[in-house]
Chain A
């Protein structure tokens, strides 16, 4: 791919796989379906933005309307789970062989954590979220000291332990099975205790393709959002 930097309108999915040159390390059963789905989404959302928006927004609203409780319970569960694991003897297990040494210094490590996780949101919502809660608080009266207190409390809640419990849970699962069980560092490896050798089959490919499309869509929309005018 000498020209992969140029902005071609469509990712050349078939072309990619046809050239299975030795310099290619893509796993075709993951990449091909992912690119096809991503391409279809792109065409769908690009050609019919209104319809797609309405359809997916309705879907999202339905999910929020019916499963809001599940989100709260699940995310709290992740936090409790991590605290439990850290407090238990499992906390002594090293992510890697027993003699593995960390690759990055503690400072670089934390710096990398921020930048990847939360950088952009922090910039926008640092001012925005508390102020919006202050004007429209969940329980207090708007525009009062109570509202200010609740605004910051809510903001802390949304940006505090829970957010990092979600990231931490996923990260721990990946790191643990990746470095300790020596499985590939992808989401399917986390299902190893459930599926065992079947993670190498269609279920595993599907899970990874799902993660790939999800990550691409997440990155692209955030970046797109950020490129919206702000003046």
Chain B
């Protein structure tokens, strides 16, 4: 569409130099300003072009086609996703390898670049926001775009050009401008497209320099401007040398071939990400210990001592005898005085090892419902080697033992080793209060009347 002799090496190198210089300028102004201003400018421009094609093309047909295309796409999604033409070759031999596989290789080979860039601009969003945004927004735009341009082109080819447009189909560069010739104001629109393409080049080059610099500096956020300019120049030189000497195709083929190991690495990355997020969830799901609810600043030295000390089975049994049992007996006596039957059971003497066998429990029987049980038993918890502070390194001391509560309804118990007598009583009363509320609630009757988890078998 231009009269320039665009075939000369000089022209092509000049294009590269201009693009690189603009990219450098944009890069030098920092990500916020350069890329953002250019991106927003281009987004507006592409919306203008899109609107133009929709309005001046076969408008109604485009909307009809959009609806149908989306339907066809969604309904064929699973089948197309995994289609490998294993049973029969496509009608056009090599279609699968030349289109689908090549696209996938292409996206994968670009993914370190685009991925780094979209990561960089997404700090502070949630994982869900990120995924939904990245999957839906660009896809929606692409589908709209492809419908507007693709369906217009096919429609023009069959209804207006009588197949003339399709003859240029092999050359995608020329085809775009041939396509515009069938729309009004072809010259102006072509220039608009050229500006759009040029800015896309500049932003890609700019982001490219930005991303390469980030990799080269191992993610250093405060890297000097000249480094980004250096990478813009490296990219420019690479492109220019290959343009003049040839070999672009070779490098492109190499990039696409290299997508295979990247794809394999990405599968490993998915697994790693899952593991990383599991660790993350486990970390943030850890709540403050239940027993610390009662803490004020009192007795803090004693508590600190308890936190630092890694208790043994003997420590726990001593705690159960000196704190838990007296507290339970106090509660039982008070209940008896008020006419509520309650009894305390001490199995520590008879029980061997851990678990319920060596437990103490306060039981308040209730007719027709499962009893109220507040029990405490020693539970062993394994500690990783580096957490062991105390001298003994024998097998026995790979564990700490904690007094852990258990209840008739099978709710999760918790460590109460830091509680003092009155605090333990408060804890028992809170659970008893809850037990009474639940017992009075008709909705829970079905469960309340089932045998308790602590009933003797």
Residue of B nearest to A190 (CB): B269
B266 contacts A78, C-beta separation under 8 Å: yes
Q: Which residues of B contact A60 (CB under 8 A)?
A: 105, 253-254, 256-257
A217 contacts B238, C-beta separation under 8 Å: yes
Q: Within residues 65 to 113 of chain B, which ones have a CB less than 8 A from any CB in chain A?
A: 65, 68-70, 72-73, 76-77, 80-86, 90-92, 95-97, 99-105, 107-113
B137 contacts A220, C-beta separation under 8 Å: no
The answer to whether residues A104 and B121 also contact, given A164-B134, A166-B108, A227-B15 and a CB cut-off of 8 A, is yes
Q: Which residues of A contact B157 (CB under 8 A)?
A: 131, 134
A72 contacts B100, C-beta separation under 8 Å: yes
A159 contacts B142, C-beta separation under 8 Å: yes
Size class of B's contact patch? 35 or more
Among the 9-residue stretches B145-153, B369-377, B388-396, the one with 4 or more Cβ atoms under 8 Å from chain A is: B145-153
B251 contacts A95, C-beta separation under 8 Å: no
Q: Which residues of B contact A106 (CB under 8 A)?
A: 133
Question: Is B308 located at the chain interface by the 8 A CB criterion?
Answer: no
Q: Which residues of A contact B51 (CB under 8 A)?
A: none
Q: Which residues of B contact A184 (CB under 8 A)?
A: 218-220
B21 contacts A5, C-beta separation under 8 Å: yes
Which of B17, B92, B112 contacts A215, CB < 8 Å?
A: B112
CA distance A167 to B6 in the complex (A): 34
Question: Is A202 located at the chain interface by the 8 A CB criterion?
Answer: no
B38 contacts A115, C-beta separation under 8 Å: yes
Which of B109, B174, B203, B237 contacts A116, CB < 8 Å?
A: B203
Q: Which residues of A contact B46 (CB under 8 A)?
A: 114, 119, 122
B110 contacts A155, C-beta separation under 8 Å: no
The answer to whether residues A211 and B112 also contact, given A5-B24, A116-B204 and a CB cut-off of 8 A, is yes
Q: Which residues of B contact A183 (CB under 8 A)?
A: 219
A194 contacts B112, C-beta separation under 8 Å: no
Number of A-B contacts (CB under 8 A): 622
Residue of B nearest to A41 (CB): B251
Which of A126, A160, A178 contacts B73, CB < 8 Å?
A: A160
A120 contacts B250, C-beta separation under 8 Å: no
Q: Which residues of A contact B279 (CB under 8 A)?
A: 193
* Chain B window 1-43, contacts with chain A (Cβ cutoff 8 Å), 1 for yes, 0 for no: 1101011000110011101010010000000000110111011
Residue of B nearest to A152 (CB): B69
Which of B92, B133, B197 contacts A110, CB < 8 Å?
A: B133
The answer to whether residues A124 and B172 also contact, given A151-B154, A193-B276 and a CB cut-off of 8 A, is yes
B112 contacts A25, C-beta separation under 8 Å: no
Question: Is B384 located at the chain interface by the 8 A CB criterion?
Answer: no
B91 contacts A153, C-beta separation under 8 Å: no
Which of A173, A226, A227 contacts B269, CB < 8 Å?
A: A173
Q: Within residues 28 to 78 of chain A, which ones have a CB less than 8 A from any CB in chain B?
A: 30-31, 34-35, 38, 41-42, 44-50, 52-53, 55-57, 59-60, 63-65, 67-78
- Which of A82, A174, A179 gathers the greatest number of chain B CB atoms within 10 Å? A174
Q: Within residues 125 to 163 of chain B, which ones have a CB less than 8 A from any CB in chain A?
A: 125-128, 130-135, 137-139, 141-143, 145-154, 157
B124 contacts A102, C-beta separation under 8 Å: yes
Question: Is B399 located at the chain interface by the 8 A CB criterion?
Answer: no
Question: Is B446 located at the chain interface by the 8 A CB criterion?
Answer: no
B121 contacts A156, C-beta separation under 8 Å: no
CA distance A142 to B134 in the complex (A): 34
A93 contacts B280, C-beta separation under 8 Å: yes
Interchain residue pairs with CB less than 8 A apart (18)? A11-B237, A26-B217, A42-B237, A67-B260, A68-B84, A93-B277, A111-B42, A116-B35, A119-B46, A127-B153, A128-B175, A156-B70, A164-B138, A169-B269, A191-B272, A192-B272, A212-B215, A218-B255
What are the nearest 4 A-B pairs in CB distance? A170-B115, A130-B150, A45-B247, A91-B128
